[in-house]
């Protein structure tokens, strides 16, 4: 299972309808948190997101993306947490997050480590990688891409039976790439297992202007989460503040040939009536939705 829960979708400040930036990503029983705007721990409770997270990944250190960390950590401490937590973000994270945590409350009962990453750095997480993507939003900002490793190819049970291979451990060994001997014959995986199947890819842009680099790094993604702070009518404002319009986000999705686009980081003026942003984007890339707080998006496997 791979899914995202949008905990906060407003840009810069919360509104009555929207909290500020935070996304919970669930993958095979693991939960990763991307950004942690103010009130994130309450949003997690409201939308049924558990607190069993070990890592928080920040895109940059504007206050609407990290100010909720103290509240989250304090809530976890009051719940008796003892497991360590790791924070990841671009340059400046150790100084900014460290100072905030030191000033925010009494000493945490669990260890908190802050790691800084460079754009292009890849974190090996076993069954998947997390890559810090360059973002065009000032000197120290990143997006994040989760890329699963290739899956095993499809195993052909009917052909296995035809070859007289008894169902059980031998099937598993062949599926994992091991040749086996059956009645004096050697059966190779190539006879029963198809080519490797690609894993899923989720790209989270962070706050950014559109870029050819992002198009290249998001190529073929199953899901692109892209900021859409402004409408096309506010193009000049988007350029000035190094944000994107809904139309620009859709153009990135189209150029990158992603499967689906979710827009977030919506200006407060669109807190109600974000359909205008959705319509603007869908005119370019039809498979688009504008996230609302509490939206859950599943990312299924697809055959390519």
Catalytic residues, by residue number, are: 64
Please report how the helices 93-104 and 69-78 are oriented relative to each other, as an axis angle in degrees rounded to 10.
50
Closest CA to 4 of 280, 223, 167: 223
Element (H, E) at 148: strand 142-148
The span from the CA of 201 to the CA of 53, in Å, is 20
Bridge partners, 23 (sequence order): 6, 34
Bridge partners, 114 (sequence order): 87
Answer whether 165's CB lies under 8 Å from 182's CB. Answer: yes
Answer whether 11's CB lies under 8 Å from 291's CB. Answer: no
Answer whether 53's CB lies under 8 Å from 71's CB. Answer: no
Write down the residue that tokens 């998001």 correspond to: 218
Phi, psi of 202 (to 5 degrees): -125, 130
Closest CA to 34 of 239, 304, 264, 219: 264
Strands 296-298 and 180-182: unpaired
């Amino acid at each position: 299972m791979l899914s995202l829960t949008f905990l906060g979708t407003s840009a810069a400040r919360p509104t009555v309808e929207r909290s500020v930036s935070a996304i919970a990503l669930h993958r095979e029983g693991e939960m990763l948190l991307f950004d942690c705007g103010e009130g994130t721990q309450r949003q997690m409770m409201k939308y049924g997101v558990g607190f069993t997270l070990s890592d928080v990944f920040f895109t940059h250190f504007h206050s609407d993306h990290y100010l909720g960390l103290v509240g989250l950590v304090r809530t976890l401490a009051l719940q008796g947490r003892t497991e360590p937590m790791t924070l990841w973000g671009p340059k400046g994270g150790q100084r900014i997050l460290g100072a905030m945590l030191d000033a925010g409350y009494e000493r945490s009962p669990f260890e908190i480590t802050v790691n800084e990453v460079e754009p292009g750095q890849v974190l090996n997480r076993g069954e998947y990688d997390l890559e810090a993507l360059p973002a065009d939003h000032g000197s120290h900002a990143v997006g994040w891409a989760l890329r699963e490793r290739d899956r095993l190819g499809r195993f052909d049970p009917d052909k296995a039976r035809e070859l007289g291979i008894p169902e059980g451990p031998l099937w598993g060994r062949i599926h994992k790439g091991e040749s086996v001997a059956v009645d004096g014959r050697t059966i190779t995986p190539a006879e029963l297992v198809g080519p490797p199947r690609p894993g899923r890819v989720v790209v989270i842009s962070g706050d950014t202007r559109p870029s050819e680099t992002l198009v290249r790094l998001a190529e073929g993604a199953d899901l692109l989460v892209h900021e859409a702070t402004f409408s096309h009518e506010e193009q000049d404002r988007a350029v000035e503040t190094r944000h994107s319009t809904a139309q620009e986000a859709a153009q990135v999705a189209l150029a990158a040939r992603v499967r689906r686009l979710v827009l977030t980081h919506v200006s407060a003026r669109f807190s109600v009536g974000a359909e205008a942003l959705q319509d603007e984007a869908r005119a370019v890339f039809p498979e688009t939705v504008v996230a609302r707080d509490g939206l859950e998006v599943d990312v299924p496997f697809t055959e390519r």
